[in-house]
Amino acid sequence: MTEAHDILFDPFTLGDLQLPNRVIMAPLTRSRAKQPGDIPWELNATYYAQRASAGLIIAEATQVSPQGKGYAFTPGIYSDEQVEGWRKVTSAVHHEGGRIFLQLWHVGRISRPELQPNSQKPVAPSAIKPEGAQTFIDENSGMVDILEPRALATDEIPEIVEQFRRGAENARHAGFDGVEIHGANGYLIDQFIRSKSNLRSDAYGGSVENRIRFPMMVVDAVVGVWGGQRTGIRLSPTGTFNDMHDDDPVATFGTLASHLSASRIAFIEVVEDSFQGNELDGRPESVINAIRSGFTGAYIGNGNYTADEARSRINAGLCDLASFGRPFISNPDLPRRLSLGAALNEYDSNTFYGGDEHGYSDYPALA
């Protein structure tokens, strides 16, 4: 008797990279960079190497500049020490046969003066305080409210594009296989895209074409370093996390998807329906359809899916690959467990952010 075919474990060509399966490790902030300097180190290398059986690891959100930082202990990709630290990570993953992209990140307004150079105000498209948004600034303060940011001047925007370009270049030097641009979850690129957070009256605000101008400048800069085949972007078109909203997400993200398709990037990863909240009843299929129909590259679905839900959506043509977040935290060998239908380790949410190896690199693999 032959075994049933499992589409999750079909190989897939993502851009020009061959993946052995369609189980993607989603980017996961874990706040365990070495201090001072927000430098990746041996602990991070161990953690990612343990998860190298993923079809592709998308490493955690990594700030492209000191200004791009919004949470304590998150890694950067702008200093020589950070590049050397990330090289330890990529070498460890490659030694285990894995593939790893870096997620390039600027938080925009989701920060605090305590985390900014010279205690400056965080920057944003518009000076709008995100209601209910919080971050953590050190080990003792707990979660603290985000304050009102300052609006970027028009002539400052090209420098932030350059921060992303340099981050992409540094990711190459650090040995990554490609990069994903963080355009989701209410951070800077998402703040420009969506109508609630972007009230600008210059060339970067107003119409959809204007609101996606800065995101596409970032994409073009990163593609200039990596080529489209090794570049992707993460979007969360209907997520409400960090006080986000768009008046017409179908039009906004459909237009953006067409522009991204013209840039010939390899993939879009879409946060479809998750803990971040969602403004539409059920899954936002109308927005997903607008993105899928406008984009010719690969579509990675991220929706808190079980393995069976991921298989079903891939079989139905609703996504090409599925990215898994929290299950990868507690199951370093998640692909094997999904393949065997084995039980999953439970994760401990108390150890998600900050700390040492406990709740990080000490979850057991199957015997």
Q: Which residues are catalytic?
A: 187
DSSP at 293: H
DSSP, collapsed to helix, strand or coil, labels residue 178 as strand
CA-wise closest residue to 274 among 301, 312, 247:
301
Structural contact between residues 41 and 91, judged by C-beta atoms closer than 8 angstroms: no
The torsion angle over the Cα atoms of residues 274, 231, 110 and 196, rounded to 10 degrees, is: -70
Structural contact between residues 100 and 59, judged by C-beta atoms closer than 8 angstroms: yes
What is the helix (H) or strand (E) element at residue 95, kind and residue range? helix 80-95
* Residue 26 dihedral angles phi and psi, to the nearest 5°: -70, 155
| Rounded Cα–Cα distance for residues 120 and 118 (Å) | 5
Locate tokens 């073009």: which residue? 220
CA atoms within 13 A on the CB side of 291: 26
Cross-strand pairs, 269 = 234, 300
